[in-house]
Amino acid sequence: MGMKLYCFGESGNAYKAALPLSLSGLDWEPVKVDFFGGETRAPAYRETINEMGEVPVLVDGDKTISQSGAIQMYISAASGKFGGRDTDEAREIMRWVLWDNNKLSGVAGMTRFLMNFLPEDKRPAEVIAFNQGRLKATYATLNARLAGRDWIVGDGPTNADFSCCGYLFYPEPYGFDRKDWPDIDRWLSNIETLEGWRHPYDLMPGHPSDRA
């Protein structure tokens, strides 16, 4: 029996787990979670899938792992890929995963949600503007890191790349345009050329048009 990833297409955090799974060669399948219908907030989900009420969740036999970074570590242990060649590289990968969770995905995901998935009259303009200001500084940090580099850490794709790209392929407007950041744009193109790469809306079930 293969692994199951509880996820939905609109979730950049879920994509951070789905993408390395797709690239790893491991046997897995996506399981759609009806986030917008309230599934993650229901007692049944919290009691049987994830007490934190979130996606992604990876189930492999009797093991259940949540949080994208922890899932990435599990995929690396199972596949021997993306986790670093030695302890120093593994620590550097984790440094960028933690940075992404706090500075990039943690803010981009919220901003994208506020701008696209709330009713227009409930979108907090001041909060959105504040977040977009923070994100510009974050994009600048990432763009500078990628100057003269193909990957964030080392000479091949790692979990640092899969974590930091989690929200950057989505088409909905939230203040990011890859054309404005040439080194980020080049790096995203590198990821797109990897065998097994798929856009988040193609890799996971669920699309905004499903609720239109």
Q: What is the average pLDDT across 168-188?
A: 98
Q: What is the reported pLDDT for 14? A: 98
Residue 47 reports pLDDT greater than 70:
yes
For domain 3-82+197-211, give the fold.
Glutaredoxin (3.40.30)
Q: What is the reported pLDDT for 1? A: 66
Q: What is the pTM assigned to this prediction?
A: 0.97
Q: Is it true that domain 87-192 has CATH number 3.40.50.1100?
A: no
Q: What is the reported pLDDT for 44? A: 97
Residue 73 reports pLDDT greater than 70:
yes
Torsion over CA: 104, 107, 113, 119 (sign): negative
What residue spans define the domains of the chain?
3-82+197-211, 87-192
Contact residues for 56 (Cβ-Cβ < 8 A; gap 6+):
5, 6, 7, 11, 13, 14, 16, 17, 18, 66, 68, 71
25 pLDDT tier (thresholds 50, 70, 90): very high
Query: Are 3-82+197-211 and 87-192 the same fold in CATH?
Result: no
